[in-house]
């Protein structure tokens, strides 16, 4: 069974969610903010991330339908091929580029033959697995960025809560970069620091542009 989210997708979702939250907390003035301001910011930040999770869940469902459609189209193209080279070309186009580049013609022919023998699947549909996947995406986006808002729930002093929130966000950005470094084979600590810097730049641009 395929993963609901690939590791790189998980890292990306956390990064986007953190930027969303930081655009709200970064626009809060610690010196001037009162409890009402903190409450409004907290509601807005959590609501925004919940909405982002819902949007990503819907996009996940759309990608599931698109993937099923591509698989059906590939099978139909294989069956419509008039000769072996055309079938190989259709199958190679459906494979990852690196895999297709090292696959031998006889391997593609054998795979195409097995695929043509399969019963044709029905039209793309959304089942229990896809719906659970969308819910998982929503929860992943929301839960992984919720810690940034926790200081505002438990610390009464806005300035201190903001400092703690920023520290949590920076820590999560670093861990996100650390995970990205592991996935891509780059230096984990260096990628973590780059992610912190990138997140700070993106947040600053978002706030400057009125986001």
**Segment 138-182, tens digit of pLDDT:** 888 888 888 888 888 887 777 787 778 878 888 888 998 888 888
**pLDDT 10s digits, 76-103:** 888 888 888 888 888 888 888 888 889 8
pTM for the whole thing? Answer: 0.73
Q: How confident is the model at residue 62 (pLDDT cuts 50, 70, 90)?
A: very high
**Contact by Cβ (8 Å): 48, 20:** yes
CB 17 within 8 A of CB 145: yes
Q: Which residue's structure tokens are 């080279």?
A: 85
HEC sequence for 141-185: HHHHHHHHCHHHHHCCCHHHHHHHHHHHHHHHHHHHHHHHHHHHC
Residue 120 makes CB contacts below 8 A (sequence gap 6+) with: 72, 75, 76
User: Are 169 and 26 a contacting pair, CB within 8 Å?
Assistant: no
The closest of 166, 119, 122 to 147, measured between CA atoms, is: 166
| Confidence grade of residue 35 (pLDDT, cut at 50, 70, 90) | low
pLDDT digits (tens, 9 = 90+) for 125-140: 898 888 988 898 888 8
- The Cβ-side half-sphere exposure at 164, using a 13 Å CA radius, reads 14
Nearest one of 67, 66, 64, 55 to 13, comparing CA atoms: 55
> H or E element: which one contains 106?
helix 105-116
Give residue for tokens 């230096």: 187
Task: Report the alpha-carbon distance of residue 137 to residue 59 in Å, rounded.
Answer: 10
């Amino acid at each position: 069974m395929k993963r609901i989210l690939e590791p790189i997708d998980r890292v990306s979702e956390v990064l986007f969610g953190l930027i969303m939250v930081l655009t709200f907390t970064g626009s809060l003035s610690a010196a001037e903010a009162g409890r009402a301001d903190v409450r409004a910011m907290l509601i807005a930040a959590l609501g925004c991330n919940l909405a982002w999770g819902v949007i990503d869940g819907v996009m996940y469902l759309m990608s599931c339908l698109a993937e099923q459609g591509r698989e059906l189209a590939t099978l139909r193209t294989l069956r419509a091929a008039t000769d072996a080279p055309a079938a190989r070309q259709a199958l190679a186009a459906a494979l990852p580029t690196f895999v297709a580049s090292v696959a031998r013609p006889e391997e593609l022919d054998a795979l195409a033959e097995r695929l043509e023998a399969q019963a044709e699947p029905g039209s793309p549909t959304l089942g229990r697995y896809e719906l659970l996947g969308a819910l998982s995406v929503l929860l992943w986006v929301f839960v992984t960025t919720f810690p940034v808002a926790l200081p505002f729930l438990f610390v009464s002093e806005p300035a201190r809560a903001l400092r703690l929130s920023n520290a949590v966000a920076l820590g999560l950005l670093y861990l996100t970069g650390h995970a990205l470094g592991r996935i891509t084979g780059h230096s984990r600590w260096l990628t973590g620091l780059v992610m912190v810097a990138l997140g700070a730049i993106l947040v600053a641009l978002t706030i400057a542009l009125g986001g």
